Amino acid sequence: MTHDLLVVGSANVDLVVPADRRPGAGETVLGGDTVVSPGGKGANTAVAAARLGADVALAGAIGDDAYGTILTESLRGAGVHTDLLRTVHRPTGVAYITVTPDGENSILVSTGANAELAPADVEGASSGAKVVVASLEVPLPTVERAITVAAGAGARTLLNLSPAADVGETVLAAVDVLVVNEHEAAWLLGSSAEPARLLELGPRAAVVTIGARGALVATPSGTVEIAAPKVKAVDTTGAGDAFTGALAAALADAEELETAARRAAEVAAISVTRPGAQPSYPSAQELRRR
């Protein structure tokens, strides 16, 4: 089955614990009640796009367990097609998240089933897709193959290089839009995180998210700053994925990159005003009312 937007990435359940501060090495800090929420960079990206009306499928892997059921129900409830979501013998991935009163978080991910998503699983998945977006909570060879195959099929390719990893030069050269945050940009470039320098690595354009300030869009024509709406953050979990999903949805809808980034910044800003990742993402109707 062909879909306009294909997301290749992880599906995790988030176990979120509010705390006054994050513990240091060897320290125990008491927190509030644990909240179980659907998450994972791939699933979050797909849900964010689907909530905005995109025809989107997720290529990923979950376990045959209760967490896998939570994720499948959330994806389908948002309108994400799950025909490419594999059920494997390992447990569903879990993200352990500590959220402090300022809305910032620390995350530890247990990869689980996500490690089983293989290059063969994405071999023909992008056929007919307008846009393919991949992120790095699944094996790097799978991401590299997804980008290479998608580019060869004529799809527009987005790589959310998060967590940061060494991606091959030929793969980066097949990327239409590289999406990173400030820390990932600095990791790629060393001490200087000048967005325009990311284009020297191979992608045709780059988008650097800069938290509450918005994003920087770098193309061969120059760099444009996209301001984010001013909001009071409650929980920043999944905000970057909301941005990527909204960006991909807009590009699949044939929007220009700068216009797509403005929409993405608005979606991400809304998401941080609510707890959780997927449950915080706005619908297209909500955006139209703003």
At 50 the pLDDT is: 98
86 is known to lie in a ligand binding site = no
Write the CB contacts of 248 (distance below 8 Å, at least 6 apart in sequence).
5, 7, 45, 49, 54, 131, 133, 158
Q: CA gyration radius for the chain?
A: 18
Please check the confidence at residue 39 and state whether its pLDDT lies above 70: yes
- Choice among 55, 121, 176, 241 that is catalytic: 241
Q: What is the phi-psi region of residue 158: left when phi exceeds 0, alpha when psi lies from -120 to 50, beta otherwise?
A: beta
State the Cα–Cα distance between residues 44 and 129, nearest whole angstrom. 19
pLDDT classification of 91: cutoffs 50, 70, 90: very high
Evaluate whether 48 touches 58 at the Cβ level (below 8 Å).
Answer: no
| pTM beyond cutoff 0.85 | yes
Query: Residue 57: is its pLDDT beyond 80?
Result: yes
**241 belongs to the catalytic site:** yes
Each residue of 149-174: pLDDT tens digit?
999 999 999 999 988 999 999 999 99
Position 193 scores a pLDDT of 67
270 in a labelled binding site: no
Q: What is the CATH number of domain 5-10+41-84+119-289?
A: 3.40.1190.20
C-beta separation of 82 from 59 below 8 A:
no
Check whether 12 is labelled as a binding-site residue. yes
129/194: higher pLDDT:
129
pLDDT of residue 1: 61
**105 labelled ligand-binding:** no
Residue 78 makes CB contacts below 8 A (sequence gap 6+) with 46, 47, 50, 51, 278, 281
pLDDT for 188-210, tens place per residue? 998 666 889 999 999 999 999 99
